[in-house]
Amino acid sequence: MGALETLPRKLDPKTASGPALKAFFRIAGRWGLDVDQQMILLGASARSTFFKWKKDEDGHLSLDTLERISYLLGVFKALHVLLPNEDAADVWVKKPNTAHLFGGKSALDRMLSGRVSDLYVVRQYLDAQRGGWA
């Protein structure tokens, strides 16, 4: 199931954008992401747009950006279910991982490819770990 399939069918990007950005920037702070990493995860190509989002936590996000944030929220939530220690959950994304899909790199490295599909794969992996069918 994709992230957009879990969102209401008549999602209004304008009303969803503010809360989505607020949540994203909280996660980015918890994970210690720099500006370039945040821009890649959001799919933002213009620094001016990114800093407008960061300053106002407002604006009209595309469905692509909302989908990206939805996957990241899923990753964050899954980590906090799997690793109840907040610090352990928050540093997991940066730790090298021996699971085949990470190839010894971190989940963050995989997500920083810039492709939405990699955000999905990481979320799917964690959801599988939570459900025990990985």
pLDDT of residue 16: 84
Closest by alpha carbon to 124, among 90, 81, 74, 86? 74
Q: Which amino acid is at 13?
A: P
Lookup: tokens for 2: 């994709």
Q: Is 1 inside a domain boundary?
A: no
pLDDT of residue 104: 96
Q: Is 101 inside a domain boundary?
A: yes
Is the distance from CB of 79 to CB of 89 less than 8 angstroms? yes
pLDDT of residue 42: 96
Distance separating alpha carbons of residues 19 and 103, to the nearest angstrom: 34
45 CB contacts (<8 Å, ≥6 apart)?
39
pLDDT tens digit at each of 134 positions of the chain: 444 445 555 667 777 888 999 999 999 999 999 999 999 999 998 999 899 888 876 678 999 999 999 999 999 999 999 998 999 999 999 999 999 999 999 999 999 999 999 999 999 999 999 886 55
pLDDT of residue 5: 47
Q: Is 107 inside a domain boundary?
A: yes
Give the range of the structural domain holding residue 105, as residue numbers without chain letter. Answer: 13-131
User: 């990007």: which residue's tokens?
Assistant: 13
Q: Is 27 inside a domain boundary?
A: yes
pLDDT of residue 4: 46
**Number of domains comprising the chain:** 1
Q: Is 121 inside a domain boundary?
A: yes
This prediction's pTM? 0.87
